[in-house]
C-alpha cells in the first residue's frame, strides 16, 4: 500500500480517537482528558514505530475497533458491529454495520489490513456526516 495512503488513513484514525496533531512538533499527537493534556503518540521518541502504527499493531487497532463499536452512526441509536472473517480464497472480509444505515465492507490479504481499511472507511464516513 502506498505510504501516503497509510499516513492519511492513520491520521484519520488518530482523529477518530480524539487525538490532535501538534501544529509545531511534527509527529506528536495529543489527547485531552478531563484533567490533562498528554502525549498520545510521539513518532520521534519511539524506535519501534516511526509513524502512527494503527496499520501495524493490533493493540493500537483494537483501540479504534472499541471506539467504533461504542458509537452509533449519528443517524440512529443502533450499535455498530465490526466482523471479520476469512474467505475461501484466503482473503479476509471485514464489515462494519448496524443492520440499518451503515454497511461498510473491505477485503484484504491479511485480517489486520482488512480491519484497518474498514476502520479508515468508517472514519471517513463518520467525519463526512459530522460536517
> Tens of pLDDT along 33-42?
778 888 888 8
Residue-level pLDDT at 46: 62
Find all residues with CB under 8 Å of 123, minimum gap 6, and list them: 9, 12, 13, 15, 16
Q: What pTM value is reported for the model?
A: 0.81
SS3 103: strand
Single out the residue of 4, 2, 50, 1 nearest to residue 26, CA to CA: 50
What is the distance between the alpha carbons of residues 122 and 49, in angstroms, rounded to a whole number? 24
> Does residue 18 surpass a pLDDT of 70?
yes
* 46-78 pLDDT per residue, tens: 666 778 889 989 999 999 988 888 876 454 555
Is the CATH code 2.60.40.10 the one for domain 3-129? no
Residue-level pLDDT at 33: 79
Over 53-86, what HEC string results? CCCCCHHHHHHHHHHHHCCECCCCCCECEEEEEE
Residue-level pLDDT at 11: 93
Q: Which of residues 110 and 19 earns the better pLDDT score?
A: 19
Residue-level pLDDT at 102: 64
Q: Where are the domains of the chain?
A: 3-129
SS3 129: helix
Amino acid at each position: 500500500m502506498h505510504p501516503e495512503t497509510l499516513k492519511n488513513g492513520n491520521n484519520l484514525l488518530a482523529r477518530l480517537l480524539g487525538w490532535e496533531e501538534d501544529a509545531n512538533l511534527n509527529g506528536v499527537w495529543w489527547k485531552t482528558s478531563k484533567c490533562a493534556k498528554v502525549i498520545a503518540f510521539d513518532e520521534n521518541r519511539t524506535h519501534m514505530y516511526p509513524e502512527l502504527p494503527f496499520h501495524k499493531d493490533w493493540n493500537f487497532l483494537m483501540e479504534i475497533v472499541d471506539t467504533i463499536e461504542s458509537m452509533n452512526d449519528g443517524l440512529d441509536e443502533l450499535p455498530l458491529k465490526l466482523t471479520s472473517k476469512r474467505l475461501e480464497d484466503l482473503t479476509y472480509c471485514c464489515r462494519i454495520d448496524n443492520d440499518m444505515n451503515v454497511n461498510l465492507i473491505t477485503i484484504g490479504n491479511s485480517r489486520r489490513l482488512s480491519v484497518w481499511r474498514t476502520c479508515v472507511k468508517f472514519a471517513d464516513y463518520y467525519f463526512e456526516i459530522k460536517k
